[in-house]
Structure 1
Amino acid sequence: MNRDKREIRQSVLHTLSLLTQTDYQMQSSQMASSLYKEAYWQEAHCIALTISRFPEVDTIPIIHEAWKQGKQVVLPRIKQESKQMDFYLIHHFSQLEETVFGLKEPKPSEATIQTPTDIDLMIVPGVAYTMEGYRIGFGGGYYDRYLPSFHGTTVSLLFQEQLVSSLPIETHDQAISHLLVPGGVLK
């Protein structure tokens, strides 16, 4: 019997909240190191990701590494009224502002909007995942609406606690191409 998405989301987020700061940082670092070894990272010129918040895998070091390697970094800005999001090219953190839900998003006046075809690699956030790459996010559906127009590579970084045996899958759900956990590559 499938549990509904809200129950799964609450259960996984509760389990993640029990991670110690030391485990959280160590495992985030292990996943980032694995990511940098992957061909899809090495070949990507433009990488989309988010500014994470605990208990999501820490993306700040990944952004710094992307800049260090000369890669472009694009971050999303959500449009609540249309439930859509756009990605903006940023060059430094001062181009961000705190917005709805306490998110740090690009200031449109200081960043350049990008199209889905500009992005090579998208690091997709989520709460729970199956081994097949299906996911549930935080409930806004923003990635569900964006991913059909994106044809690059998708990857998610997740703690082992985020893996579930099954999820309620809907027709619009798209599997993530690659999954990385602290121990390495799952998919």
Structure 2
Amino acid sequence: MEVTSDVALLTKAKRRLRRSAHEQRNLLTDRAQRSARIQTLIESLTVYREAQALHCYLAIRSEVETRPLIGAALAAGKAVACPFVDAQGLVQHSWLASIAPTSFTHDALGLPQPNQLRPAYAGEWQLTLVPLLAFDRAGYRLGYGKGYYDRILATTQGLALGLAFACQEVTVVPREAHDRPLDLIVTEAEVIWV
């Protein structure tokens, strides 16, 4: 599928793909092992090893689990920021001091956010780790449809790294002109450089 301007057609295609991709991901019974393999591959990357600071989501539902990766990054002396949605529905970022469960509360939607907020700003990290529902080999991703990561990536200068299970790959992700491809995607099977 090419970049399209037919909003209704695009919206329908994305909705259908989101549902299918979410179902595929939910069928995985060994997500912890697959997530651990993804972490191993990420930690082997030069771009990760050289990054002094990174931005990483806190996994929810059936996403690639990130807490062990965040814990290892903090233990290695890296600064780690995470996103959260404030009371006004705006995406904010906070540096993490710990990944311990007691370091987090949950917002009205059940999403984790740090207890102690230490503001972080785009440009302060070299690597952004991004969740997704589906991806293609051109580096395009399909998220949940709220545009949070579209806004984050639009203001970030460093590399954007998508975390996914191999079953989330599709031939082509429906996209719009403003969509930005990721720089690389890491699955349990491989590292895909775009």
Same topology, TM > 0.5? yes
Greater shift in the superposed pair: 46-55 or 34-43: 46-55
Cα 1:63/1:125, change in 2 over 3 Å:
same
How far is 1:184 from its partner? 2.1
Contiguous gaps of at least 5 residues in structure 1? none
* Aligned equivalent of 1:137: 143
> Which amino acid in 1 is paired with 2:184?
H
Instruction: State the aligned residue count.
Output: 182
**In 2, distance between residues paired with 1:136 and 1:70?**
32
Residues 131-165 of structure 1, C-alpha deviation per residue, up to 9 Å, x if partnerless?
11101111111111221110111101111111111
Within a 5 Å distance, the mapping from 1:126-165 to structure 2 comes to 126-165=132-171
Cα distance, 1:80 vs structure 2? 6.4
Verify the 8 A CA contact 1:78 1:142 in the aligned structure 2: no
What is the match of residue 34 of structure 1? 41
2:50 maps to amino acid:
E
Report what 1:19 is aligned to.
Answer: 28
Measure the CA separation in 2 of the matches of 1:100 and 1:164: 33
Moved more, 23-32 or 86-95: 86-95
Q: Corresponding residue for 1:64?
A: 71
CA contact (8 A) 1:154 1:177 kept: yes
- Maintained 8 Å contact 2:153/2:160: no
Structure 2 CA distance, aligned partners of 1:89 and 1:36?
Answer: 20
> AA paired with 2:156?
F
Say which SS state the counterpart of residue 116 (structure 1) adopts.
coil
* Residue aligned with 1:161, SS: helix
Q: Contact between 1:12 and 1:127, CA under 8 Å: does it hold in 2?
A: yes
Paired with 1:30 and 1:156, the residues of 2 have a C-alpha distance of 14
Maintained 8 Å contact 2:160/2:183 = yes
CA distance in 2, matches of 1:149, 1:100: 26
How many Å separate the matches in 1 of 2:106 and 2:86? Answer: 14
Cross-structure match for 2:112: 104
C-alpha contact (below 8 Å) 1:95/1:111 kept by paired residues: no
| 1:173 equivalent in alignment to 2:179 | yes
TM-score, normalization by structure 1: 0.91
- Partners of 1:130 and 1:80 lie apart in 2 by 33
CA distance in 2, matches of 1:76, 1:166: 27
Paired-residue identity, %:
27
Q: Which residue in the other structure is 1:4 paired with? A: 13
Query: How big is each residue's C-alpha offset from its partner over 1:24-54, in whole Å with a ceiling of 9 and x where there is no partner?
Result: 1111111100000101110111111111023
CA distance in 2, matches of 1:100, 1:128: 26
Which segments of 5 or more consecutive residues in structure 2 lack a partner in the other structure?
Answer: 2-9
Change in 2 beyond 3 A, CA 1:136/1:100: farther
Contact kept, 8 Å, 1:157 with 1:180, in 2: the verdict is: yes
Deviations 1:87-123 (A, max 9, x none): 100112433210132110124xx22111111111110
Partner Cα separation in structure 2 for residue 163 and residue 184 of structure 1 = 12
